[in-house]
Amino acid sequence: MESDQAPTARFRLHSGFLERVAHFAAHAAARRRTPTEDSPGSRAPSVHGSGEFAGRRRYRPGDDLRAFDWEALARGGGELVRLRSNDSSEPWAVVLDASASMAVGDPPKFQLAGELALAVCAVGLEWGCEVRLAAGERFHVLRSRSDLARAAEDLDGFSCAGPEGIEGQAGIGPWLSSPALERARRWIAIGDLFDVEPSIVGRFATARRRLDALCVLADVELSPLSHGQSGASVEWRDPEQPVGLTTQLTGAELARYGTALSQHLSHWRASVARARGVLVIARAGDAFEPHAERWIRGRGR
Amino acid sequence: MSALAFAQPHFLWLLSLLPLLWWHARRSRRGATQWTGALSLWRRAVLPSDSSDARRRDSLPRYMQAALGALALGILALAGPERVGAKAQGPQWVFVLDRSPSMFLEVEGPAPRVTRIARAMQLALELCQRENVGPERREWLTFAADGEHRMRAERPPDEWLATEWGIGASTPWGQVDTPRHVWVSDCSPAIAPVWAGRVHSGAVPAPGAIADLGEMELFWDGAQVLERPRVGARAGLFLGAELPEAIATLARLWADGRGISIASESDRRCLSIESVATNLPIVEGRAQGVGWSAPARAACLPRGDDGIPWSEFVAADGPRGPAAIWRSGKIKLALTSLAAEEADPAAFALCWSELFDRARAPDGAVVSYGERALQGAPRVEPPRAPPSADSREATELAALPALLAAALALLSLHLARSR
């Protein structure tokens, strides 16, 4: 039986983590310029600078046809689109859910969410973007790797289960209307996404504002039976809600929960699709790289 | 109106364990606590907008509720519920009042001196008060020559406590040794009661006549028995007005034969024969008894008149009634005239003299030696409660929660198995 005390979690900045993030971001930036993505012989993209040619990549259905590289097609280079530096240097807002529910899981969801947030920030910096990182009441404007390092140190030891988390002030929702993030053209929300209704996100997205969502879920949320025997009684408690709920892990109830979770994630997927973004679902305890990789691959669509 | 009480109230303390068990059951039912951020999904999944369903989930499962209910009822049954009011009100107490001659002897005490029967009555009423036997639960019973007399009242009529009503017959104590009976006497009979209670006035030796020998009497002076000429008048036969001549003549002959004098209005009487016809309509008809029948005129005796019917009067227009009614020391005649010459004289005389013998009360002045020499202190014992009846009542009351507890336990098992 778990403790009746609400779980707490602190983000730990493990040694070598910033190096892993830097390596991942550099790898992501370099891959953006790989021959498989860019036409052979094209000049190296200028990473920085507004409106400059930043490279090519394979055309994907839905891409703006004005960016289609007809010349490359004529040269037999295949179906490519031109990338410009102002596409990648847009202001980003990375919002990390620091609500109390992020302390759930072993290891807690907050650890992977924090790692993903720093990884996304690093990728944004590699791509020349100004990144604004918000987590609870903490806020950082990142323009360089040193800014990222300072932000990472600031997050080290940051707890997500304080009173602010219980009151629900540390989640994603309050940042959606924050003036500090108003200029951001791309939003990346990282958390369990249980404290924000997908429909709000759909209304939040505009023609100039995209939204990606990285949903980090604990084992017990993805597969409840992994933490109890079939038929056993379980009292589910949420750190952000005063009253729990007792259920039995019967097949019928697990199936209903599975359906509810699928519907919840489907709504999120549809909402971020309307916001021209991507939804990535991650399991707490995983390494951040594969999930960040999936996000990078998906965000071009 | 009866209230509920418990024979073993200390068992009720076990009821205080029920909240603990309920709390423990809830806690154990809760199973492992699992923290999740997806509680809203669980609520959506398992509580589809039904608040009653939500309450049901939050409460204990039915089999546990039934088990706790069975436990509560079992504890109630153990505590032994019983009706206090029923016990307090209870059935009647029957006070069997001894009216034998010795009861009218005086007992020593502060002036004015009281009789044994008065002292016994005083003790009986004190017993009623002490045992919370209200007036509505008291029944008085006494035995006389004409049979038993019963009365439900706070206390017996005053005439029962005086010799004017007639001296009672001997009491069949063995027949009234039953639960909720109280013997009211001056001293215990030879065999003590098993179930009945007893109120004894106590007695001191009372010298006096112990046998009637006609002109002589046997007298006990407290030390020895003497034979001496009779002192004082004997109780006599009183004949009222307007009696049929044949019956009045026969009564005089009977008294003469028994050595009984004819009494005047103020004399002590052993038998009074009076007519009831003074204020009642008189009808023609025929009187008849065992072996005799004769034309007669008689009044119709009112129904419910206290006494035992004797012989029969058949009116010419059909209605029937007794020719006389009697009780100890008194005969009331319905007949006002009788053509006795038409009846068989022997059968007529035997029939009426038998009535006179039955109705004759003993002479209160003559009391047996045993009763005069009686000594003893006052004694009061309540009757023994009939354990079988009381325990049956309590058992029946305790059986109800016990049966319900068993039923709930079975239901709980059934529900637990069918989960």
Q: Which residues on adjacent β-strands are paired with residue B199?
A: B184, B380
Instruction: Inspect the interface and report whether the beta carbons of B58 and A259 lie closer than 8 Å.
Output: no
- Supply the ipTM of this predicted assembly: 0.79
Please give the share of chain B, as a percent, with pLDDT higher than 70. 82
- Partner A, chain B 128-147, Cβ-Cβ below 8 Å: none
- Are the C-beta atoms of A115 and A17 separated by less than 8 Å? yes
Question: A88-92, A275-279, B97-101: which range is least confident on average?
Answer: A88-92
Q: How high is the pLDDT of residue B341? A: 85
Domain range list for chain B: 4-30+38-85+390-417, 91-207+367-385, 236-359
Q: Is the pLDDT of residue A187 over 80?
A: yes
Tell me the mean pLDDT in the region B237-243: 86
Chain B: nearest CA to A36, how far in angstroms?
41
Please give the share of chain B, as a percent, with pLDDT higher than 90. 10
Q: How high is the pLDDT of residue A111? A: 94
- Mean pLDDT, chain B, whole residue set: 80
- Mean pLDDT, chain A, whole residue set: 80
Phi, then psi, of A212 in degrees rounded to 5? -110, 155
Domain range list for chain A: 28-87, 90-298
Q: Is the pLDDT of residue A120 over 90?
A: yes
B207 Cβ neighbours under 8 A, 6+ residues apart: B219, B220, B221, B222, B372
Tell me the mean pLDDT in the region B65-80: 89
Instruction: Inspect the interface and report whether the beta carbons of B33 and A232 lie closer than 8 Å.
Output: no
Question: A164-178, A185-199, B74-88, B198-212: which range is least confident on average?
Answer: A164-178
Q: Is the pLDDT of residue A287 over 90?
A: yes
Please give the residue that has the higher pLDDT: either A117 or B80: A117
Instruction: Inspect the interface and report whether the beta carbons of A234 and B37 lie closer than 8 Å.
Output: no
Contacts 24+ apart (CB under 8 A), B147-156: B147/B308, B152/B92, B155/B121, B155/B125, B156/B95, B156/B97, B156/B121
Question: A26-40, A125-139, B224-238, B304-318: which range is least confident on average?
Answer: A26-40
Residue B49 contacts A, CB cutoff 8 Å: no
Tell me the mean pLDDT in the region B76-91: 69
Q: How high is the pLDDT of residue B214? A: 67
B62-79 helix and B387-417 helix, angle to the nearest 10 degrees: 170
Q: How high is the pLDDT of residue B298? A: 87
- Are the C-beta atoms of A219 and A283 separated by less than 8 Å? yes
Label residue B148 by pLDDT band (50, 70, 90).
confident
Instruction: Inspect the interface and report whether the beta carbons of B35 and A109 lie closer than 8 Å.
Output: no
- Are the C-beta atoms of B167 and B362 separated by less than 8 Å? yes
A294 Cβ neighbours under 8 A, 6+ residues apart: A280
Q: Is the pLDDT of residue B349 over 60?
A: yes
Please give the residue that has the higher pLDDT: either A262 or B395: A262
Q: How high is the pLDDT of residue B84? A: 61
Label residue A45 by pLDDT band (50, 70, 90).
very low
Label residue A43 by pLDDT band (50, 70, 90).
very low
Q: Is the pLDDT of residue B389 over 60?
A: no
Q: Is the peptide bond before A163 cis (omega within 30 degrees of 0)?
A: no
**Cα–Cα distances in angstroms (integers) from residue B368 to residues A264, B42, B219, B385, in the given order:** 111, 100, 10, 34
Q: Select from A6, A102, A234 the Cβ nearest to the Cβ of B32.
A: A234
Tell me the mean pLDDT in the region B309-318: 85
> Contacts of residue A245 in chain B, CB cutoff 8 Å?
39, 42-43, 46-47, 57
Tell me how far apart the alpha carbons of residues B209 and B112 are, in angstroms, rounded to a whole number: 23
Report CA Rg, chain A: 20
Tell me the mean pLDDT in the region B42-71: 73
Q: How high is the pLDDT of residue A49? A: 34
Tell me the mean pLDDT in the region B238-255: 88
Q: How high is the pLDDT of residue B160? A: 82
Q: How high is the pLDDT of residue A121? A: 94
* C-alpha B159, offset from chain centre: 18
Q: How high is the pLDDT of residue A164? A: 45
Q: How high is the pLDDT of residue A285? A: 92
Instruction: Inspect the interface and report whether the beta carbons of A257 and B40 lie closer than 8 Å.
Output: no
Chain B: nearest CA to A264, how far in angstroms?
8
With tokens 């509580």, the residue in question is B47
Tell me the mean pLDDT in the region A11-27: 91
A90-298: which CATH topology? Rossmann fold (3.40.50)
Q: How high is the pLDDT of residue B259? A: 77
Return the closest-CA partner of residue B143 out of B117, B180, B168.
Answer: B168
